[in-house]
Amino acid sequence: MGWHARDWYLGEHAPRLFDRAGNIGPSVWWNGRIVGGWAQDGAGGIVCRYLEDVGRDAEAAVRAEAERLAPLLAGVRLSARTRGKTWLEEELTA
């Protein structure tokens, strides 16, 4: 992403979404802004965490996309290999 001035799409969420080296983890976008993150839980399901109130429409749209993505993964486990896990990923996978 490369910009130091990225508050316009991140808000105050950066510490939760980036690893110690500055790499961003899986993020949830709504209306051009990052509003949360996602990870796979222990069973391989997709779990999301919102870092601000996005409303029911956004939550329903994200849930629909997570449900659409789940069968495509079909047992594949995604993991952070070339970057560290973010704070949010650690929390969601605990």
Q: Is residue 73 part of a domain?
A: yes
Number of domains the chain is built from? 1
Residue position matching structure tokens 């222990």: 42
Q: Is residue 59 part of a domain?
A: yes
- Residue 37 bridge partners (DSSP): 27, 49
Higher pLDDT, 33 or 78: 33
Q: Is residue 2 part of a domain?
A: no
CA angle 44, 58, 11 (to 5 degrees): 90
Overall average pLDDT of the 20-28 stretch: 84
What are the E-state strand segments in the chain? 27-30, 33-40, 46-50
pLDDT digits (tens, 9 = 90+) for 42-89: 778 888 999 999 999 999 999 999 999 888 888 888 776 777 788 788
pLDDT at 36: 92
Structural domain span for residue 22: 7-93
Q: Is residue 1 part of a domain?
A: no
Q: Is residue 11 part of a domain?
A: yes
Q: Is residue 60 part of a domain?
A: yes
pLDDT at 59: 95
pTM, entire model: 0.75
